[in-house]
Amino acid sequence: MELATQYNPQEAEKNHYEHWETSGFFAPEINENPDAPKYSIVIPPPNVTGSLHMGHALQHTLMDVLVRRKRMQGFKTLWLPGTDHAGISVQRKVAEQLRRDENKTPLDVGREEFIRRAWKWKEEYGNTITQQMRREGASVDWSRHRFTMDEDLSKAVREVFCTLFEEGWIYRGLRIVNWCPKDKTVLSDLEVKEETRKDGKLTYLQYPVKQTAETRALARVPKTITVATTRPETMLGDTAVAVNPNDERYKDLIGQMIALPLTNREIPIIADEYVDSEFGTGAVKITPAHDPNDYQVGERHNLPQLLVMNDDATMNENAGEEFVGLDRFEARKKVVAKFEELGLLEKIEDYEISLPVCERCKTIVEPILSEQWFVKMDELRDLALDLIKTEGAPHFHPQIPNEKVYTTWLENLKDWTISRQLWWGHQIPAWYDNEGNIFVARTFEEAAKQAGTDELTQDNDVLDTWFSSGLWAFSTFGWTGENSGQWTVDSGRNKIQPTTDHRPPTTDLEVFCPTDVLVTGRDIIFLWVSRMMMLTKKFVDKKAFDDVIITGTVLGKDGKPMSKSRGNGVDPIEMFDKFGVDATRIYLASIATGADIKWNDTLIETYRNFANKIWNATRFCLMNSEGAQVDYTFINPKAEVREIKRLIGDELIDDFDEEDEEFLDKVEPEFAKDNPKENLSIADKWIISRLNRTARDVNRALDRYFYHEAVRLLYQFFWNDFCDWYIELVKDEITSETVNTTRDAARSRILTILEQALRLLHPFMPYLTEELWQKLPGVNANLHNPAYRSAEQTIMLADFPLGDASLIDERAESEMQTIIELISKVRNIRAEMRIKTSEKLDIHIAADSATNKIFAENEAQILKLARAKELYLSESLNVPKASAKGVLTGGTEIAVPLEGLIDFEKERERLESQINNLSSEGEKLNKQLSNESFVQKAPPEKVEALRERVAEIETQLNALNQNLNALM
RNA sequence: AGUCAGUUAGCUCAGUGGUAGAGCACUACCUUGACACGGUAGGGGUCAGCAGUUCAAAUCUGCUACUGACUACCA
């Protein structure tokens, strides 16, 4: 089998996804183990209007890594996908389509037709993102895909709304709300963003105080009172002027009336603590219908609420004849002009102001008095607060600062405005009779029954999209009874089984809820995370999830958040095309959890190169795979015992002792001691140790959601240990032309190690690893986790290596380290003395017998990798003066005779620089050791380690100094 | 205004009470039978500044500077 010299990601990406999907590998039902623990994640449903951006790619990668690993570990794993109906976004797209194609407005076609078209739009364009997710390799269970407006999810919405209403947590009320004049709907506080404008103006208006007998008597009373405002047009809706009760300047004015200019209304001057005497003029115009603070002042003083704007932010008839129909900004100019005409414009100051804008359309939001539906958050907030305070749920990763942000926000939570003046969404299940009485019910029929009439009109508004999203952690699992999955539960052991037997059925809800972890961005901790926690607790009495991973933001190359307007976006699909899906995924996983990162193509290139390295290492193994196959017993003698067990059959297992060697010899003599499987070299033991250590550490890292740590470990193991050293060390043996069992065992061994590495890499790089795994000789469904034995062979279901602690071999690692150090030292001498690669050298070594034994056992590899022709081992050096010398850890001395090649000056410099480095380190350490309080207070093992290091340095210095003197 | 985070090699970023790390870039050498998207050997950092705690601080604490995020208010 011949592979191309370069990995072509597109090819591998084409080959596998569809097969994985259609084979049912993504669905939890693939798991045959009735006792399997479950693992579940629900995806944050992207907007149907959306297309994949880097934030999705990041989050999806993190979720897929978790899910793929757990699945390989034999968990009954479900990653549930879905999309969100995205109220305003879809509404806008469909309205735009209507305008463009037919020059019509939504009102022209009517509600029913509009909704029909919205569904059509969704069917046509709404699956962009689901296709893109397939490209990403996301192992979601498409058969359980949910849309927030699916019938059962809509039913869940109605159920929750009605229950909350019945319990008194939902109410309809007249409040100051955030109004977007462009979308013509109310927005929740969270959908409003602040935008700072430097060109704001603060306008000072003079209001004439009405002259009465009383005011005339009080000579000190001024003729006017000046108020400052950033929104002069709202003065048309003023119903009072307020001052601080303690403000001496205005004491006499309290209770007086003002003749409000441009209107023929008179308004009172009132006193309220809310007013800050220090700010502006200390007198504030009060417009209860257009400002939240003024509204509250108005409530306290029983002021009238005069709404002067329409829903498109033009002025209404209350604003007066002169202003009616004018846009708010036109009206603003006109008000100012009129005041100027009247001589009542005191001044206009430049003023930096932050304006509330609509998160989506950036239109300036108008605070406006309006009747809306609200959720009173008291009880729900307490549910979430209790969970975090008593159970620490959800546990945030990274914990700081997210947990604090979450808790603080909950503590200051205000009521949630849930109605939206849109057509696309869940229409509010409330009906009105002709008298305006409200009937909230799950269906029209119920409402009619309550009302005693069917002459009812349903509320025109729909619910905030986040209302249905808040139910996502349980509504998607068939909470309403539909689409609830086919599981039965063994009540005795409380284990889950997909069966058709007659035990009582249970649902996806019982199996998969609560979910294990939620992966999402900082921006929706409040909008979504908190609400899922509250509502899931409230309605199914469970935590929505145990853990929340808050991802960082992928910034553009300029270090700013990616945005269309800035044009600094990086399209993940382009990255997939350019570098491959796997490279993009593992790069995204290499970002520290929660950290922001500036996009940088060269880093992704690193992982493109890594993919190519994996490809080529596999290519090498395959080129030399004749007579060999993947077989775990080649890298684990104990596994051989298990293999024997498998061969001799299950019935003997019970009285079988793995340590009983006699028994082994008895049952299967061909597996006995001298077989090449057990005849492992230092290099073999070392790589097996490194493999198992890496596997163990990767699992530990992922358990803590330290993806970047896992990536680092895998990168290092594969590139530095496996490719740079192991392949090079065993190359001669493996490529040998001589056919024998030793060669074939070596070939099987390297194939098996590679196969284990591919499994470890699979969650990060699914396409590459599947592509290569399938090509390895000897792979089959027996390598699967036992939960998937009947499934067709795929690396997706292979058992994820946990790392066998008994195969971590400290001694082999340290012996190998000695060999690596020797080879590196010789290479260093060669490079520094500028000896050509083609020049073969001799190596003389003076070491203790144990070390010499290690070198002797690996002579062939040392000669090859150091490009040497002869290795002389003894206990002391006896070499010509014309030699380059060095010292290894432990005091082993090496010398490379360089007759005719040595540059004595250079060698002197080389030795001197090494001596300098070592002495300055030694000095530092000695100083520390001579510090009494260090020796007394530092942990003994630290002191001991330091002493050892000093001794080591002294040994090396001695040798180096002798070598230097010999040169003089 | 408040809260929080970041500031480490030329660049992008890991690390974290006990002698500073990676990738890229850089220098020199290498068409060594998997890979030049490669190999070998190197150079490069008083870990933003100041003060404190400690035997020991890049790591903990405080302050300062710069950058960024979030929350609230601004008549």
ipTM (interface pTM): 0.95
Q: Is A429 exposed, middle or buried (0-12, 13-18, 19+ CB in 10 A)?
A: buried
Contacts for A762 with CB less than 8 Å, ≥ 6 apart: A68, A72, A769, A770, A773, A795, A796, A798
Residues 536-565 of A with CB under 7 A from strand B: 555, 559, 561
- According to the model, what pLDDT value does residue A497 have? 46
pLDDT over threshold 70, residue A506: no
Q: Provide the CB-side half-sphere exposure for A583 (13 A, CA).
A: 28
Chain-centroid distance of CA A469 in Å reads: 19
Nucleotides of strand B lying closer than 7 angstroms to a protein CB: 3-5, 11-15, 18-19, 23-24, 28-42, 54-56, 68-75
Confidence check: pLDDT of A958 > 50: yes
pLDDT of residue A562: 84
Report the pLDDT averaged over residues A89-108: 88
Q: Residue A441 has what pLDDT? A: 92
> What is the pLDDT, as a whole number, of residue A215?
65
Residue A493 has a pLDDT of 37
Show the tokens assigned to A676: 């090449």
| CA/C1' separation A772–B35 (Å) | 15
CA–C1' A913–B53 (A): 38
Q: Measuring from the CA of residue A7 to each C1' atom, give the nucleotide at the shortest distance.
A: B37
Is any atom of strand B within 7 angstroms of residue A187's beta carbon? no
CB A926 under 7 Å to nucleic chain B: no
The pLDDT value recorded for residue A48 is 86
What integer is the mean pLDDT of A601-615? 93
Q: Look at residue A793 and tell me whether its pLDDT is greater than 90.
A: yes
pLDDT at A496: 45
pLDDT per residue as tens digits for the range A280-311: 788 899 999 999 889 988 888 889 998 999 88
What number is the average pLDDT over the span A111-118? 92
Scanning A196-252, the segments in alpha helix (DSSP H) are: 213-217
Most confident of A189-203, A560-574, A756-770, A933-947: A756-770
Residue A656 has what pLDDT? 56
The pLDDT value recorded for residue A491 is 39
Q: Within 817-856 of chain A, which residues have Cβ less than 7 Å from strand B?
A: 824, 827-828, 831-832, 834, 836-837
Tell me the pLDDT band of A504, cut-offs 50, 70 and 90. Answer: very low
Tens of pLDDT along A16-30? 999 999 999 999 999
pLDDT greater at residue A536 or residue A905: A536
pTM comes to 0.89
Does at least one atom of strand B sit less than 7 Å from the CB of A284?
A: yes
Predicted confidence (pLDDT) per residue in A456-500, tens digit: 999 999 999 999 999 999 999 988 877 666 665 443 333 444 444
Give residues 393-432 of chain A lying near strand B (Cβ < 7 A). Answer: 400-401, 404-405, 409, 412
Q: What share of chain A is helix, strand, coil (3-state, %, to 5)?
A: 50, 15, 35
Closest CA to A28 of A104, A86, A80: A80
φ/ψ (deg, to 5) at A341: -55, -40
pLDDT digits (tens, 9 = 90+) for A666-725: 555 444 445 656 678 899 999 999 999 999 999 999 999 999 999 999 999 999 999 999
pLDDT tens figures, A198-241: 777 888 888 888 877 776 666 566 788 888 888 899 999 899 99
Confidence check: pLDDT of A943 > 50: yes
Average pLDDT, chain A: 86
Residues A699 and A802: beta-carbon distance below 8 Å: yes
Model confidence at A2, in pLDDT bands (50, 70, 90)? confident
Q: How many CB atoms lie within 10 A of CB A906?
A: 13
Q: Among residues of chain A, what percentage have pLDDT more than 90?
A: 41
For the CA of A748 and the C1' of B61, the distance in angstroms is 57
Subset of residues 423-482 in chain A with CB less than 7 angstroms from any atom in strand B: none
SS3 category, A888? coil
Please answer whether residues A841 and A833 qualify as being in contact, where contact means their C-beta atoms are separated by less than 8 angstroms: no
Cα separation, A915 vs A931, in Å, equals 24
Q: Which nucleotide shows the minimum CA-to-C1' distance to residue A606?
A: B23
User: In the predicted model, is pLDDT for residue A555 greater than 90?
Assistant: no
- For the stretch A323-358, pLDDT in tens is 888 899 988 998 888 888 888 888 888 877 778 888
End-to-end alpha carbon distance in chain A? 59
Query: Between the CA of A788 and the C1' of B35, what is the distance in angstroms?
Result: 35
